[in-house]
Structure 1
Amino acid sequence: MDVTGLRIAMFSGNYNYVRDGANQALNRLVEYLLRQGAAVRIYSPTVAEPALPPMGEIVSIPAFAIPRRPEYKFPLPIPGAVKQDIAAFRPNIFHIASPDMLGHGAVNLARRLGQPAVASVHTRFETYMRYYGLAFMEPVVEAILRRFYRRCDAIFAPSDSMAQLLLEQRMNYNVGIWTRGIDRAVFNPDARDLAWRRGFGIEDDVPVIGFVGRLVMEKGLDVFSDTIDRLEARGVRHKVLVVGKGPAREWFEQRLPAAVFAGFQEGPDLGRAVASMDMLFNPSVTETFGNVTLEAMAAALPVVAAIATGSASLVQDGVTGRLVPAGEAEHFADALEFYCSSREARREAGKAGCEISRRYGWDEVNQELVDGYLRVIRDRAAGKLPR
């Protein structure tokens, strides 16, 4: 079998109604699969006005809004009519992108139909507990995730560091890599636009510290703002540029009243915004890859990031940026002060990061997942996987 023989039933709790790195990766994957001749059908909750135009055909799954985070939905069990639709589609592999009720139901159905099920890991859900005052629940959430992932034939991590963590957590012992790509037509140093910066009142010679992403507390906004407080206390000349939107924007604006909030950007506008920064600061520990880190590297920016899954596989400490223990605002401030104080250091780190980013192309990384699909199907047919 080759890619044209694949019939993939994909299950996601959020395929396109919120714009984030995981959803964009899934949509790029589906576009690639369809372009290569595979058959794909997506099962996900839907909304009237999605954030992304969906690639492929979506079958809507009933869901309810998550309390305190109504922009996200929690899918309900697979209805009987949808199970009939799945059976009629005749998938030969199930791809599950979220370990929720829909994902558990999809694994059950795959077992009943005698087909392999794989899961892609996009978020470290267990770490979310610490942002809601429930850190004591992390071991419980980790155990729930382990039960789900170990029922899959294989799981795919977006980075080597995340794959190693999954093995250490005993989530599954068949762990492959499906990394992320970069659109170099959008993210590149030539997109830098000082005139655009001036429109926000940013002087050309002021080092700009950038934040890119959804404005939610799980992105480490508290650590980011605490670090900026320390820079200001030291008298380090800088400007903060925030790109993104989300429910924590008002909180972030109050914490950083001197920052520039450029709002949501996409496509070439996002590429321009990133390239117009002088460094990226990414203190988050919840990502499994860190698309924004790779985008910044492609734009020739040094990256200061937490030592966490994803970033640890992309950032070379002392070469393309600095890796700092999570939550260490004082050490983050040291790293940012270093790059704020040296144009040459920024140039050297940015050049190195830009060179590394050339290894990541979307078609190449998506083909690696296709090869993984085919391997899992062959192994199940040969009786090498547990049933």
Structure 2
Amino acid sequence: MLRVLHVLDHSLPLHSGYTFRTRAIMKAQQATGVDVRGITGIRQHQGGAATTRPGTAADRDEVDGLVFHRTPGEVSGPAGLREWREIAALARAIEQVCGEWRPDVLHAHSPALCGMAALRAGARLCLPVVYEIRAFWEDAAVGNGTGRAGSLRYRLTRGLENRVIAGADAIVTICAGLRDDLVARGVAPGRITLSPNGVDLSLFGAVAAPDPALAARLGLSAGDGTASGPVIGFIGSFYDYEGLDVLIDAMPGLIARQPGARLLLVGGGPMDRALRSQAAASPVADAIHFTGRVPHAEVERWYALMDIMAYPRKASRLTDLVTPLKPLEAMAQGKIVAASAVGGHAELIADGVNGVLFPPDSPAACASALAELAARRDDWDRLRDQGREHVRSHHDWSRNVSRYQAVYQTVLRAGNRQELPDAA
């Protein structure tokens, strides 16, 4: 049986898009007969990135039937030195796990700190390294408001990424935008495999029925439990690049055309306080509702209250290159998707086919798109069906996992190592 060790920034039980993708990959690989484990860096028990709960510093953790090893300890020092210490600590932990468990492949996932640690350990242990890029983290830092484009830190992060890309045996990216950027940097297209974001339909494909009592408590329905108008929804992290301020500014224009419309924002993050203040000052403040963060296990209850999921991401290098996961989850839940026409959304959504696209950074364009979509109720079933079919055909992890098997076969053959059996 082939063994694959996934090298990660953070994992379950922390909650983020990063951890949910990891879980889906590892579960799908388990189902094909691959023996998988994960190992996380020091940041796991320092709170991780974009998380909703504290981590654990346990040496080994089992979550949802998956085994994760933890890198113990802490690192300190000035920026730059601190990151090199993180890499060294993770590399040592990888070597320790490999001495006990003996994987055949190291599959490192961005950021480049994980990739560099895997390269160090792989070189010492003669193990092939697959490096998966989910985003360029220098661009993610800009999008999160923790970095500045073109700064020294930005350039150093990009340089480290390039070193890992050059040293890895194979490269995986989650979307065409990232792949095309790598090719423009000089990476041979044949070294890059595309493994798009996906949904585990065995867990996320059931559509829940709306809870009338919950809808009434939130002010989303009339007193008799019937809907008062279309509910526009967003579930996720409140980062500036998500454009939720644009969505709030769009609400007066939407309500002028659809008086019963309501906006339900589920989640939290760095922009939470500013968004709540903006909503309170809106002339349609009574139509905008915040829930705070909700347990991931209950997220279907909140999807069930929403008619149209809105993703008004702002135009930026990050949003043009990277495809998000949330629109796919919404399609799997049978929700209609309206999104800004940034590059990452355009890879997932064909305007008028499985969703609607509108110009980014424009409250007026957002309001107009939502109002027109709300008025076309006779078209909703078609959009829902097309969205679900798009996920089933192109983004179901039970199908997409075979892409990794082909990559593993290639790197193992190149090193004359054990080959992966064909997928079940």
Q: What TM-score comes out, normalization by structure 1 length?
A: 0.82
- 1:239 aligned onto 2:251: no
SS where residue 309 of structure 2 aligns?
strand
CA change 1:272–1:96 in 2 (3 A) is same
Which of the numbers 344, 351, 371 marks the counterpart of 1:337? 371
Task: Tell me the alpha carbon deviations over residues 67-118 of structure 1, each in whole angstroms, 9 at most, x when there is no partner.
Answer: 9xxxxx9981233752541441433211111224343122122233332211
Q: How does 1:367-386 map to 2 (within 5 A)?
A: 367-381=402-416
Identity of aligned residues (%): 23
Equivalent in the alignment of 1:70 = none
Of residues 352, 358, 361, the one that matches 1:327 is 361
Extract unaligned runs of 5+ from structure 2: 47-53, 57-61, 222-226, 418-424
Q: Which residue of 2 aligns with 1:76?
A: 86
Contact preservation (8 Å) 2:238, 2:267 = yes
Aligned to 1:277: 306
- 2: CA distance, partners of 1:219 / 1:66: 32
Alignment of 1:55-204 (within 5 A): 55-63=66-74, 76-79=86-89, 81-82=92-93, 84-88=95-99, 89-128=101-140, 129-132=142-145, 134-137=148-151, 140=155, 141-170=157-186, 173=189, 174-179=191-196, 180-183=198-201, 186-203=204-221, 204=227
CA distance in 1, matches of 2:77, 2:175: 29
Matched, 1:25 2:21: yes
Given that residues 303 and 322 in structure 1 are in contact (C-alpha distance below 8 angstroms), is that contact kept between their aligned partners in structure 2?
yes
Change (3 A) 1:43 1:63: farther
CA distance change for structure 1 residues 192 and 142 in 2, over 3 Å: closer, same or farther?
farther
CA spacing shift, 1:206–1:117, aligned 2, 3 Å: same
Query: Among 50, 58, 63, which residue is 1:53 paired with?
Result: 63
Deviation of 1:59 after TM superposition, in Å, equals 2.9
Question: Structure 2 counterpart of 1:21, which letter?
Answer: G
Tell me which amino acid in the other structure corresponds to 1:280. M
Q: Alpha carbons of 1:77 and 1:324: their partners in 2 closer, same or farther (altered >3 Å)?
A: same
1:28 partner letter: A
2:405 and 2:171 mapped to 1: Cα distance? 13
Q: CA offsets per residue over residues 284-327 of structure 1, 9 Å max, x none?
A: 36463322101111222221223345422221111222223443
Distance 2:278 2:324 in 1: 24
Q: Which moved more, 1:177-186 or 1:364-373?
A: 177-186
Larger CA deviation: 282-291 vs 100-109: 282-291
Matches of 1:216 and 1:177 in 2, distance apart? 26
- The 3-state SS of whatever aligns with 2:237 is coil
- What code does the residue aligned with 1:78 have? A
> Is the partner of 2:199 in helix, strand or coil?
coil
Q: Distance in 2 between matches of 1:337 and 1:116?
A: 52
Helix, strand or coil for the counterpart of 2:9? coil
Distance 1:74 1:369, change over 3 A: same
Q: How does 1:213-228 map to 2 (within 5 A)?
A: 213-228=236-251
Change (3 A) 1:135 1:161: closer
Secondary structure at the aligned position of 1:95 is classed as strand
Of stretches 274-283 and 143-152 in structure 1, the one that deviates more from structure 2 is 143-152
Does the 8 Å CA contact 1:211/1:243 hold for their aligned counterparts?
yes
Greater alpha carbon shift after TM alignment, 317-326 vs 127-136: 127-136
Contact 2:356 2:369 in 1 (8 A): yes
Separation of aligned partners in 2, 1:310 and 1:21: 15
Q: Please identify, of 208-217 and 263-272, the stretch whose mean Cα deviation from structure 2 is larger.
A: 263-272
Amino acid at match of 1:178: S
SS of the residue 1:376 aligns to:
helix
Q: Who is 2:329 aligned against?
A: 295
More displaced 10-residue stretch of structure 1: 125-134 or 242-251: 125-134
State yes or no: 1:38 paired with 2:34. Answer: yes
Structure 1 pair 320/30, CA: closer, same or farther in 2 (3 Å)?
A: closer
* Structure 1 stretch displaced more, 106-115 or 19-28: 106-115
C-alpha change, 1:170 and 1:214, in structure 2 (3 Å) is: farther
Secondary structure of the corresponding residue to residue 78 of structure 1: helix
SS of alignment partner, residue 57 of structure 1: strand
Query: Residue in 2 aligned with 1:350?
Result: 384
Aligned in 2, Cα 1:332/1:97: closer, same or farther, shift over 3 Å?
same
Q: Which amino acid aligns with 1:227?
A: A
| TM-score normalised by L of structure 2 | 0.76
Structure-1 residue corresponding to 2:279: 256
CA contact (8 A) 1:275 1:296 kept: no
1:17, distance to aligned residue in structure 2 (A): 5.2
Alignment length, in residue pairs? 373
* Partner-residue secondary structure (3-state), 1:303: strand
Give me the CA root mean square deviation: 3.4
Counterpart of 1:385 in structure 2 is none
Q: Which residue of 1 aligns with 2:396?
A: 361
- Deviation at 1:240? 0.8
Cα offset, 1:19, TM superposition = 0.7
